[in-house]
Amino acid sequence: MILCGGLGTRLREETEYRPKPLVEIGGRPILWHIMKLYSHYGFTSFVLCLGYRGDMIRDYFLNYREMNSDVTVRLQHGREEIAYHDGIDEEEFEVTLAETGHDTMTGGRLKIASRHLDEGPFMATYGDGVGDVDIQALLEFHRSHGKLATVTTVRPPSRFGVIELDDDASVGGFREKPRLDDWVSAGYFVFEPAVLDYLPLESVLEEEPLRRLAHEGQLSAYRHEGFWAPMDTYRDRMLLEGMYREGAPWKVW
């Protein structure tokens, strides 16, 4: 399940015209990059929780083959015949487009869209962060501890370089944007079906539901030491675009 319904207000330069998951990196929506990561590890069935400008995400997938293939259209006898000349790497994708409401919070979106889930554990993440998370290792970790929920955590780099000061206030050196000591949520959750009971329709996933799971000892953290970056602001988007041109450290496929 991928959360695709937020307003993306901190990225207003882009999201005034389209939902954040469709903002492009390297000519492809960030949503596509996230789905390619999952599919690399064999997970190709997706439920997209739609809200703000969800119609644009619907259009993207309903016209996916036409927009990503060479096409010949034969207009004969008043009937269109369409021939596609290229296969697409995403042919194995199964994408369910689930409307979850314009103003619904993250927990409520998962709850509403859960009607499309199969039995057993399910994965969930946000539609605005990329990383080289080993999804198979994440799932194996989740299965190993027997709790209801797993969250992927990372130590993000500082936004600023660090000046090292000696005791006499002399500058001893500089460190360019070191990693922070604290761990933060990167999304990329694994949930047992019972987690849905923790998600009232008005709930924000990151608040009461996760706090309650943690309080009850039902939440574990998978520590990801590799690359991860969010796309919260226009600055983040431009940084990711630059990283893409230099090799896209999240691209494992």
Using pLDDT thresholds of 50, 70 and 90, give the confidence band for residue 179. Answer: low
Using pLDDT thresholds of 50, 70 and 90, give the confidence band for residue 171. Answer: low
* Average pLDDT rounded to a whole number, residues 114-129: 96
52 assigned to some structural domain: yes
Across the chain, how many H-helices and E-strands are there? Answer: 8, 15
For residues 249 and 179, which has the higher predicted lDDT (pLDDT)?
A: 249
Characterise 101 by phi-psi region: left (phi > 0), alpha (psi -120 to 50), beta (else).
left
For residues 9 and 63, which has the higher predicted lDDT (pLDDT)?
A: 63
| Predicted local distance difference test score (pLDDT) of residue 90 | 85
Decide if 35 contacts 89 (C-beta within 8 A): no
154 assigned to some structural domain: yes
9 assigned to some structural domain: yes
253 assigned to some structural domain: no
Characterise 219 by phi-psi region: left (phi > 0), alpha (psi -120 to 50), beta (else).
beta
Number of domains in the chain: 1
Decide if 116 contacts 47 (C-beta within 8 A): yes
Provide the domain limits for residue 189. 2-245
| Predicted local distance difference test score (pLDDT) of residue 245 | 96
Per-residue pLDDT at 109 exceeds 70: yes
Q: CATH number for the domain including 45?
A: 3.90.550.10
**Burial of 224 from C-beta contacts in 10 A (0-12 / 13-18 / 19+):** buried
DSSP 10-21: GGHHHHTTS-GG
| Predicted local distance difference test score (pLDDT) of residue 34 | 98
| Predicted local distance difference test score (pLDDT) of residue 20 | 96
Residue 184 phi/psi, 5-degree rounding, is -125, 160
Q: Name every residue whose Cβ is closer than 8 Å to that of residue 147 and which is 6 or more positions away in sequence.
A: 217, 218, 219, 220
Per-residue pLDDT at 86 exceeds 90: no
Alpha-carbon distance values, 235 to 123, 161, 251 (Å): 28, 17, 20
Q: Report which of 122, 73, 130, 151 is spatially closest to residue 250, judged by C-alpha positions.
A: 130
Q: What is the mean pLDDT of the chain?
A: 91
15 assigned to some structural domain: yes
Per-residue pLDDT at 161 exceeds 90: no
Q: Name every residue whose Cβ is closer than 8 Å to that of residue 210 and which is 6 or more positions away in sequence.
A: 149, 151, 219
252 assigned to some structural domain: no
Instruction: Please give the model's pTM, rounded to 2 decimal places.
Output: 0.88
Q: Name every residue whose Cβ is closer than 8 Å to that of residue 221 and which is 6 or more positions away in sequence.
A: 150, 151, 152, 153, 183
What share of the chain has pLDDT > 70, as a percent? 92
251 assigned to some structural domain: no
For residues 47 and 158, which has the higher predicted lDDT (pLDDT)?
A: 47
CA distance 195 to 214: 12
| Predicted local distance difference test score (pLDDT) of residue 159 | 65
